[in-house]
Amino acid sequence: MSTRLVQRAIVAALAIAALGAAIAVHITSTQGLHNRRVDRLQTARHRVADALQRRTYFLEDLADMVGVHDDAAAAEFSRYAHVRGREERAIVSVQWVRRSPRGRLVPPAAPDPNPGPTPVLIAPAVQANSALADAAREHAAARAIRLASLDRTVSVSAPVALSNGHPAFYLAVPVQARAYSGLLSKAESQSAIVGLVDAQTLVGEALGDGSPAFRLRDSVTPLAAIGSGLHNAVHAALSADGRRWTIAVEGGSLTPIQVALPWLILLLGFSLATAVAVVLRNAARRRDEALRLADQRLADLTVSLQRVELVNQQLEVAHAEAEVRSRVDALTEIFNRRHFGEVLGKLLSDGKGARAAVLLLDLDHFKQINDEHGHLVGDVILRAVAGRIGSILRSTDCLARWGGEEFAILAPDMDRDTMLELAERARRALSDDPIVVDGILFQLRVSIGAVLTGAGLDTPDAAVDAADQALYDAKRAGRDCVRVYVPPASAAERA
C-alpha cells in the first residue's frame, strides 16, 4: 500500500469517525424524541380510554340497579345515582330511557308513584342544558339509545354542544332486566341508561394538570382541547363504543443543544481531519520532490520501453486479426474453407477410430435470386442461411462457407443414422420457413451430400470429394434432398 494511500485512509477514517459520531448522536436524540412522543401518545390514549370506561362502569352500575328494581320510584333511583355519581363532574345528566308497550320511546311522565317512561336520574346543574338532558327527544342520541336498548351494546353518540360551549356526547348502556314488576311489559323493559358527558371535562380530569397540548376529535368535529399551539403533533385512533375518535398530542421537538451537537461534532471532526491532511500533504510533497529527479530519469527509459512494447502489441494484434480473417468468412462470419480443411485434417490424423460426418450443402437456384434481386439481397440471405444452419449444430460441430452458395458441415462422432438426421434437420431449417428480406419472402431449397469418414476416406481431399459426389447425386435426383456417398464397389454390387 502506497504512502499516499495510507495518508488518505487516515484522513478518511477521521472524517468517517466524525460523521459516524454525529450520526450516532443525531439518531440517539431523534430516537429519544420518538420514544417520548410514543409515550405521550400512548399515555394520553390510555387515560382518555380509562376515563371513558369509568363513566361506562358508573352508568352500568345504575343500569344494574334499575334492572333489578324496575318498579321502584324514580326518586329512589335518582338518590342512588347522585350518591354514586357525586365525584362524576364530567357527567352532566343521566336519564333512564324506556319504551312503550309497543316498543317506541315515550315522552317523560309524572315521576311518581310509577317510574315513568324516561325519568331523569341526574338533572343538569345548568338549566340551559335541560333540553339536552332529555336524551329521548334528542336526534343525536337516537342511534346510541337504539343500540343500547335493543342490541344490548354500549354506544356513544355523535357530539352535541352544551350551553357553555363545551362539546359533549351521549353514553348509553343497556339495562338488563332481571325481574318484571308486573306493571311493565317486556317491550317497556327494553330500556337504557343514557348519560350526557362533558367531553372537555372528561379529558381535563383524565390528563390532569401539566399535560402537553392535546386535541380530541370525533371524525372532524372537535371534542376536547388542552393547551394551544399544537406543533409536531402525533396522532392515534381511539375506538369509543361505535365512534372512531382521533387523538392528537404535542410531540415536542429536539432542544437547541440536541440539534447543534451533531453539527459541532461534525465540524470538530472535519477540522481535525483537514489539519491532519495538511500535515501529511506537506510531508508527502517533500518526499515527492526528493523522488522526482530519480523518477524523471526512470520515466525517460520507461517511455522508450513502452514504445517498444506498444509496437510489439500492435504486431501481435495485427497478427491475431490476420489469423482470424484468414479463417473466417467475411460475409457470413462463419469459418471459411481453409479452416474447415485444417480441422478435418486434424480430426482424421488423430486416428481415434471415431467416424465423422462431412456434409456439403448447396442452395438450389440461388443464382436466380442474385440475378433477379441483386447481390446485396443475396448476401443478406447467405448470412441468414449461416445463422439457421448454425442454430441446429452442436458446439463440437464445425460450419464453414465452402464458396458461393455452398456450405460445409463437419460433425465428429457420427454414424449413418445420426448423419442423416443432421442433414435432414439442416434441410428443413432452410426449407420449412421462408427468409424475409425487405418484405420479400424467399423460399429456399437445398441439396445436401453426406459422407462418413473411414476406410478409403481418411484424408480431407478424399472425404470432401466423396461428399461432393453425393451432392452431385442430390442435384441429379431433383434437388431439395439428401444423398449419402456410395463407394463405387458398393454401387456395382447393388447394380
- With contact defined as beta carbons under 8 Å apart, do 202 and 55 qualify? yes
Specify the pLDDT at position 234: 87
Q: Is the pTM of this model over 0.75?
A: no
Spell out the per-residue pLDDT of the chain, length 495, in tens: 577 788 788 888 888 988 888 899 889 888 888 888 888 889 888 999 999 998 888 888 878 777 666 554 555 556 665 555 556 788 888 888 877 666 666 644 433 344 444 566 677 778 888 888 888 888 888 898 889 888 889 999 999 999 889 999 999 999 876 655 555 566 666 788 898 999 988 898 888 877 788 889 988 889 888 887 777 888 888 888 888 899 898 877 888 898 888 889 888 888 988 888 888 888 778 877 877 887 888 888 888 888 888 888 888 887 877 777 788 998 999 999 999 999 999 988 886 667 899 999 999 999 999 999 999 999 999 999 999 999 999 999 999 999 899 999 999 999 999 999 999 999 999 999 999 999 999 999 999 999 999 878 888 999 999 999 999 999 999 999 999 998 876 555 554
Quote the pLDDT of residue 122: 73
CA 16 to CA 95: how far, in whole Å? 70
CA 77 to chain centre: 62
Judging by beta carbons within 10 Å of its beta carbon (0-12, 13-18, 19+), is residue 486 exposed, middle or buried?
middle
Q: How far apart are CA 396 and CA 347, in angstroms?
A: 12
474 close to 447: Cβ distance less than 8 angstroms: yes
pLDDT at 82: 59
Q: Where are the domains of the chain?
A: 3-250, 337-494
Query: Which listed CATH number (3.30.70.60, 3.30.70.270, 3.30.300.30, 3.30.70.330) goes with 337-494?
Result: 3.30.70.270
- For the domain made up of 3-250, the CATH class stated in words is alpha beta
User: According to the model, what pLDDT value does residue 113 have?
Assistant: 40
Considering only CA atoms, which of 413, 412, 47 is closest in space to residue 214?
Answer: 47
